[in-house]
Amino acid sequence: MPIAAIKLFGMSTGEWSNLVAVMGLLGAFIAVCLGPLIDRFGIKKTSMISVVLIFAHSLLLALTEHLWVNEDYVLVMLAVWVLLDPVTMVCAIAIGMSICTKRISATQFAVYMSAANLGASLGSKLFG
């Protein structure tokens, strides 16, 4: 999304950084508040809701290309995207923790998180 924000939607790197900082902080706060809901409804259901929300957002963004000239619309859509990221990450972390073997859980969890970050780094290197 940062590449699209800068190259396609014309945001500056400073504007993108500010958006990510503010919405990331808000998303992290929301994700922390969702912790009890994850415990109550289960990680599978909560993860599916998160994935469906991201899919719906992506589909809406793709189907409304004619609105991309409206800066407010683009800003809101990018903000929602950044807001959904921490929520999805909390679900992914919870799944990672639940599938770790207790005896080696710290190492196994570190490998899962490293693999996730490696994917983000490689994607940035390849596409941006």
Residues 68 and 36: their CA atoms lie apart, in Å, by 37
Total count of domains within the chain: 1
What confidence score (pLDDT) does residue 38 get? Answer: 80
Tens-level pLDDT at each residue, the chain (128 residues): 666 777 777 778 888 788 888 887 887 788 778 778 888 888 888 889 989 999 999 999 999 999 988 888 988 888 888 888 877 888 888 888 788 787 888 888 888 888 878 887 887 778 76
What confidence score (pLDDT) does residue 128 get? Answer: 63
What confidence score (pLDDT) does residue 9 get? Answer: 74
Joined tokens for residue 118? 């490696």
What confidence score (pLDDT) does residue 83 get? Answer: 82
Range of the domain at 13: 2-127
Q: What global pTM score does this model have?
A: 0.71
